[in-house]
Amino acid sequence: MSEQTADHGSIIDAIVSNSGRCTLPYQQAHRGDVFGTAFWFNDLLAEDDDGNATYRQYLLTAGALTRYDLAEIRLRPGLSESAMSAGALMMLRFQEGWIPLGDSGVSVLPTGVLHALARRKKWAWATDEITDGMAATGEDIARLGDAPVAAYALGHDVGPDRTQREQAVIVGKVVRSGDHGGFVWDGLVPQGCVGAPVFVGLQLEGSRFKLVCLGVLLPGEGGSEGGSEGDGDGPRHPVATFDRIRTAVRGLPEASASGAGTAPAAKSRWWHGRR
């Protein structure tokens, strides 16, 4: 195991405190069998000398889980500063809103449609986002080396009634795979957690570490599209890394990205001391 990662407890605390509101559980409506996790991502466009930043905002998930027309996005307390009118949002023509990012396996949804849906219901989103500072760079990825690295997926399991979708931090490992330095997830992936953000902790000097979002958890190779449970001997799930994702997002045509809107970026913490 790589020595560049901090202890489990500190990293899990950092994930929950910084990114607990960045994930959304979604599913095919009307008792469908496809369940996934998506998360908010702010793509940094510009930053001035005073630290004021402008970004475009997207949802990210595994593209294989978006190929149906009617979706249900489950809501939970804390995602709005005012009362929500329901426990879920219904989205028509779901698959039409997602933009595939080349052959990465990831698709993005400009979040303008989500903000519009909330406004019609007279509430506003209050979320955490994966920011440019937290999304892994090529340098971050190179630091992981070739040894297995402890990793953490922030996803939403499928409860017994198929609507609970409780958030959980799933602990596993990522391992380099193939000639191009990609990664696969080695460990349990509960149903509903495909599409989730995957985090690692990069060790800094002393007891400090940098929390990094490595990328997006994809469906298991040879597994079901819904991301069914696996184990160490089951299908290993590729992780699409943010170095490729960032490049693909910034290569989107202006017309495709226009629904993301632009706004000043909120400040986000990703540096932590280990307890």
pLDDT at 269 over 80: no
Please tell me the least confidently modeled range out of 1-15, 34-48, 55-69: 1-15
Residue partners of 223: CB distance under 8 A and separation at least 6: 230, 234, 235, 237
For residue 71, what pLDDT is reported? 96
Average pLDDT, the chain: 86
Residue partners of 7: CB distance under 8 A and separation at least 6: 274
For residue 51, what pLDDT is reported? 72
Region 265-270: mean pLDDT is: 41
Highest mean pLDDT among 14-28, 70-84, 157-171, 261-275: 14-28
Residue partners of 123: CB distance under 8 A and separation at least 6: 80, 82, 83, 84, 85
Whether residue 94 contacts residue 66, with contact meaning beta carbons closer than 8 Å, is answered with yes
pLDDT at 163 over 90: no
For residue 234, what pLDDT is reported? 64
Using CB atoms within 10 A of its CB, is residue 162 exposed (0-12), middle (13-18) or buried (19+)?
middle
Confidence of residue 261 (pLDDT cuts 50, 70, 90): low
pLDDT per position as a tens digit, 34-55: 999 999 999 988 877 777 878 8
Please tell me the least confidently modeled range out of 9-18, 199-208, 252-261: 252-261
If one compares 224 and 208, the residue with the highest pLDDT of the two is 208
pLDDT per position as a tens digit, 66-117: 999 999 999 998 999 888 878 899 999 999 999 999 999 999 999 999 999 9
Please tell me the least confidently modeled range out of 118-122, 165-169, 206-210: 206-210
Whether residue 215 contacts residue 271, with contact meaning beta carbons closer than 8 Å, is answered with no
- Report residue 74 as tokens: 């489950």
For residues 16 and 197, what is the distance between their CA atoms, to the nearest angstrom?
12
Q: Could you tell me the maximum CA-CA distance found in the chain, to the nearest angstrom?
A: 52
